[in-house]
Amino acid sequence: MRFLTAGESHGPQLTGIVEGLPSQLPLTVEDINPWLKKRQGGYGRGRRMVIETDTVEFMSGVRAGRTTGAPVTLVIKNSDYRNWVEIMDPAPGNEPRKKALTAARPGHADLAGGVKYGHKDLRDVLERASARETAMRVAIGAIAHKLLSFFGVESASFVDGMAGVWSQVPFDWSLKERIEASPVRMTDPQAEAEVIRRIDEAKAAGDTLGGIIEARFKGLVMGLGSQMHWERKLDGRIAQMVMSIPAIKGVEIGPGFSNAMKPGSQVHDPIYWEEGRGYYRQSNRSGGTEAGMTTGEELVVRAALKPIATLMKPLPTVDVVTHQPADAARERSDVTAAPAASVILEALVGIVLAQAYLEKFGGDTLDELVERVERYKQRVLAY
């Protein structure tokens, strides 16, 4: 399964093409739109989320509520485009255009992208660098999750800590409903209240906040990925996908960073076997992978989201046209996107896992895939 996305933050639409899905996968817009709504939510979001109500349209590859095996084309319209038609017009002329951006924002793609692609109006950089792009990848992730559901895979995501506040309530699958109801997607109501207070403080100060986000997956078969070649290692592929999310600056599988400071006897998970259950672990300090493959235990993916680079109280910068000192540009933005980023994390890791299932089990139809997965599960039990 492979995919491409296209579209700018203030262009007419976002477009995605997904190739390699099996035929006969039940699929409607209602499998995708709830994911888009979750991505738009979270305390601390900006006015753009009020303007947009993201919904997806199928343009190809889905008929009568199921995939045909052809490439699936998806479209998400940008409601705000009506206010940007002249500015985003692809026709030549009318330059310099309104809302040209020349004061590069520290921490954003503006300066490096402007130098790389030769743009002096940095809007030509930021329009694609914007996290708006992730809306389409979340839609594609929702399709991946629909496919994974037929293999018995479940997922969850949440904010573990932000604004200097850590959740003191450990994650449990019974807390999913509580997380979905939380405006900051946290397990701990006391931490949630303090985080909301600190978001309000940051907004008043013209500042922004990041956070630590986590996604979990259970029901995965053992052996997704491979140890045979570096580019087939599943945790490497997950890390690349996670690091492609705007503002993500670190990723770990399980407690990867804290494990690095411990002796091996306190890190590795002893192996057990039981009739009818097969191989299992009583701990999951590996986070669900060993040597680039799934262990069959829960997959735990954690990521560090830096604060958003657009500050309402801007940092010093240089104007790329005049080369004079300036205040960094101010675009409409969020105070924090950590809650939404946890949804994005869950969706995008799902894409990598769906790809891994399709690579391992093949099949032109959903029934073929399900049959092969079930047969493999029996083989693992008998090993």
State which amino acid sits at residue 186.
M
Q: Does 329 belong to an annotated binding site?
A: no
Contact 286, 299 (CB under 8 A): no
Mark out the alpha helices in 307-365 (DSSP H runs). 338-361
Q: What is the DSSP letter of 22?
A: P
Cβ of 277: how many Cβ atoms within 10 Å?
9
Strands 66-67 and 62-63, bridge-based pairing: antiparallel
Cβ neighbors of 251 (< 8 A, separation 6 or more) are 238, 239, 242, 243, 301, 302, 303, 304
Return the structure tokens found at 289. 């992978």
DSSP, collapsed to helix, strand or coil, labels residue 103 as: strand
State which amino acid sits at residue 328.
A
Q: Does 130 belong to an annotated binding site?
A: yes
Q: Does 265 belong to an annotated binding site?
A: no
State which amino acid sits at residue 105.
R
Q: Does 340 belong to an annotated binding site?
A: no
CA-based radius of gyration for the chain = 22
Q: Does 39 belong to an annotated binding site?
A: yes
Q: Does 45 belong to an annotated binding site?
A: yes
Q: Does 307 belong to an annotated binding site?
A: yes
Q: Does 98 belong to an annotated binding site?
A: no
Phi, psi of 302 (to 5 degrees): -120, 145
First to last CA, the chain: 29
Q: Does 105 belong to an annotated binding site?
A: no
Q: Does 129 belong to an annotated binding site?
A: yes
Would you call 230 exposed, middle or buried from its count of C-beta atoms within 10 A (0-12, 13-18, 19+)? exposed
Binding region = 39, 45, 128-130, 291, 306-310, 332
Binding region for NADP(+) = 39, 45
Binding region for FMN = 128-130, 291, 306-310, 332
